[in-house]
Structure 1
């Protein structure tokens, strides 16, 4: 079932997709949390559930309008169009801000996640023993993931495909950062930095009529990697959405409780006061394709309250939380998408 949307609704939906895409690229921030707070999480899950055997039959039989309406394609195009667009726009700005104002950006994210926990939990009134237990499990899982040590980079295409399946989970599971999972799997730089940079460069050259990339084995390698990763992500989105759609429909309260716990547990990932621990091999810092040091993990510490930067960071935490509360106040209420 599709929903009629005005032009303004479509524009805001595109912006929501933009926000989700930007969040997905930042390690520690969950695009799923963004979609949950901005009110399109369940519609996204149920829309992906519509990519099934019936949709395939509609497509094969040439019933394109029926396929378009059945799969809620307008919604998917707007959300994921915005998400993809963000990788070459908002994400680049975020990369710059993280480099120049790292503490303050992480503080804002930390505040937004705090606000998200309040936003999601304020309407949850089913705090029975079972839901409290699953919430605690969610907290423990979030904490455990935040302290895991990353693996080494692996460009085997089967592993890259699996990275796509698991990495996209940040879009479908609020509280889980797909980018951070890719760091743990050792392939964040390979997939979301180096390969994306090569793809962008290649597309730029193709638009100018330059196809010299076809003679470069290294470029072809990166393009194979990004294509495989994209395929894994698409497969993962469809499969996890079917699973989550089933689970949400039958155990909605339990799922919400574990999401609240998982988001709370993931706060350790976006803790603002941390130092990068870089990968070292044979006593030398490993570098990515752009010559930047490869981050292995983070060393967290408590802030110095005698430092002015600390209070500025706390201000940004408050700002981040207030942004979410304003979204709540001015109408971005969660809307359940009914699968009929």
Structure 2
């Protein structure tokens, strides 16, 4: 794969797109793959991940680091992953606060962005055969069906955590399927994307302060081990799924795009703004909390908005703004890569 020449501004925007992907991946119901798909670097992302194969390992362990870096399109992957990492400790934390305090408004903005994504992706799709329409319907049904499933309970078994990593990474590689929401359904969202991430962040802060007391905290160490296993599962899932997607794009491009549009359309059911959170409860009817004292989200109860309320119209306005954000991204992509 020939690596494109990138200016400094191109590299900067790749980091920004990586931050957007990371933020989207962490928010339940939103897929980071949508960002990659709409921003125009989805196929390069999949093709680069495909290069993480046996040949790449031979180059790496053979000490040919420069060849390895060039072979896997390292400049591109490093910039995207840098943005992903930055998002988890910066923008993602801001979104955690916003969703906690203003959930309907945040979901409204995301709903508009997903709606805009569907419009602009569909606009450029010109293979609407009967078969592809059926594939689109199937993808939509899968996306909607996912939002209606009942979640499982928390599970710290390391084999299950590894499986969660493999499955949840679909949010990065399959636009429209939210990895975060899948973790909610599997019962491990709080454990893997809240508790373990916070444990890692606290560890880094402690190390900077030359404080190693966490080493003797068994609960803290268990969370770090769980995070490591989850990341390993994510890497395995990312590489294996990218190879599958690369093959389908090569042999069934139109069908794959139709399925992806369906996934994204189906995800509208997950990001519907007007919904109430349903929290996990024990047998005594008491709300369960995570290690930080936050109530554990189980699912959502959706309802139709009251159009007599000003808050409803603010939410709709944010949805329009979300749609316009996608429009600007699309316009930038057309200017940067004119047909």
Q: TM-score, normalised by structure 1?
A: 0.96
2:318 is matched with 316
Query: The residue matched to 1:297 in structure 2 has which SS?
Result: strand
Q: Could you tell me how far apart the structure 2 residues matched to 1:98 and 1:34 are? A: 19
* Cα pair 2:40 2:333 within 8 Å, conserved: no
2:330 is matched with 328
Q: Could you tell me how far apart the structure 2 residues matched to 1:229 and 1:207 are? A: 24
Q: Could you tell me how far apart the structure 2 residues matched to 1:332 and 1:158 are? A: 44
Give the alignment of 1:1-340 within 5 angstroms: 1-282=2-283, 283-331=285-333
Cα distance, 1:4 vs structure 2: 1.6
Q: Could you tell me how far apart the structure 2 residues matched to 1:141 and 1:280 are? A: 28
Cα distance, 1:334 vs structure 2: 9.5
Q: Could you tell me how far apart the structure 2 residues matched to 1:60 and 1:232 are? A: 21
Cα distance, 1:2 vs structure 2: 1.7
Q: How many corresponding residue pairs?
A: 335
Cα distance, 1:158 vs structure 2: 0.4
Q: Could you tell me how far apart the structure 2 residues matched to 1:45 and 1:120 are? A: 18
Cα distance, 1:100 vs structure 2: 2.2
Q: Provide closer, same or farther for how the CA distance between residues 148 and 332 of structure 1 changes in structure 2, counting only shifts above 3 A.
A: farther
Q: Could you tell me how far apart the structure 1 residues matched to 2:334 and 2:320 are? A: 19
Is the deviation greater in 222-231 or in 61-70? 61-70
Q: Could you tell me how far apart the structure 2 residues matched to 1:333 and 1:39 are? A: 12
* Cα pair 1:39 1:333 within 8 Å, conserved: no
Q: Could you tell me how far apart the structure 2 residues matched to 1:41 and 1:334 are? A: 15
Q: Could you tell me how far apart the structure 1 residues matched to 2:107 and 2:327 are? A: 18
Q: Could you tell me how far apart the structure 1 residues matched to 2:193 and 2:239 are? A: 21
Structure 1 regions of 5+ residues with no counterpart?
Answer: 336-340
Query: The residue matched to 1:298 in structure 2 has which SS?
Result: strand
Q: Could you tell me how far apart the structure 2 residues matched to 1:2 and 1:190 are? A: 38
RMSD between aligned residues: 1.2
Q: Could you tell me how far apart the structure 1 residues matched to 2:279 and 2:228 are? A: 28
* Cα pair 1:48 1:71 within 8 Å, conserved: yes
Query: The residue matched to 1:285 in structure 2 has which SS?
Result: coil
Q: Could you tell me how far apart the structure 2 residues matched to 1:102 and 1:219 are? A: 30
Q: Could you tell me how far apart the structure 2 residues matched to 1:24 and 1:254 are? A: 24
* Cα pair 1:40 1:334 within 8 Å, conserved: no
Q: Could you tell me how far apart the structure 2 residues matched to 1:332 and 1:62 are? A: 40
> Which 4+ residue blocks in structure 1 deviate beyond 6 angstroms?
none
Cα distance, 1:330 vs structure 2: 2.9
Q: Provide closer, same or farther for how the CA distance between residues 334 and 146 of structure 1 changes in structure 2, counting only shifts above 3 A.
A: farther
Q: Could you tell me how far apart the structure 1 residues matched to 2:336 and 2:9 are? A: 18
Q: Could you tell me how far apart the structure 1 residues matched to 2:212 and 2:331 are? A: 51
Q: TM-score, normalised by structure 2?
A: 0.97
Cα distance, 1:60 vs structure 2: 2.4
Query: The residue matched to 1:331 in structure 2 has which SS?
Result: helix
